[in-house]
Amino acid sequence: MKKIVLLLTLAFSVVMFAQETEKKVGPPAGNALVGDVYGSQPSVNAEKNAISPKKLEKKLKSSKKLENVAVKGKVTEVCDKKGCWLTVETDNNEKFFVKMKDYAFFVPTALKGKTVILEGNAETKVISVDEQKHYAEDAKKSQAEIDAITKPQEEIRFMASGIKVIN
């Protein structure tokens, strides 16, 4: 009798795991409307004191890492696979890369083109060729664009704990 109960429990667990893995993998649904929040709600101070991407760049020149910083910027790309990263345009038409803290939340692709407040930590890092190619593949870049990545690159990386759509 104990063996039957054990086997039924095991079979039930396998079926539940199989159903969980069959779920559609992709970014969350949503229209990224003004006021929508992903991750933690940015603090009131974050919304009042958010700096521009240009000011972020200037601050990171004197300090390689900033904690608990808020940035206001326009989203230019969102990961099509899961919504697990995005890029924000800087004032000089460059972009910086944003990942979600602890991989704890994802954003819909509808966030592309929206202005957001990001709250989290920023740093300047050297990004390997392999990592650059990985994200280029996620962004569905052409093979020629991926092959053109041949050297490490220093860039701003932002680890967001919360994102709020403001426009």
The pLDDT confidence band at residue 93, using thresholds 50, 70 and 90, is confident
Choice between 22 and 105, residue whose per-residue pLDDT is larger: 105
Mean pLDDT within 39-48:
89
Sign (positive or negative) of CA dihedral 12, 17, 18, 23: positive
Backbone angles phi, psi at 105, to 5 degrees: -155, 160
Amino acid at residue number 85: W
Least confident of 34-38, 50-54, 74-78, 119-123: 50-54
Buried b / exposed e along 66-88 (16+ C-beta atoms within 10 A): beebbbbbbbebbbeebbebbbb
The DSSP secondary-structure symbol of 101 reads G
DSSP state of 40: S
Is the Cβ–Cβ distance between 122 and 65 less than 8 Å?
A: yes
What phi, psi does 27 have (nearest 5°)?
A: -60, 155
Task: Categorise residue 87: left if φ over 0, alpha if ψ from -120 to 50, beta otherwise.
Answer: beta
Q: Which CATH architecture has domain 25-165?
A: Beta Barrel (2.40)
Residue 6: per-residue pLDDT: 46
Q: Structure pTM?
A: 0.78
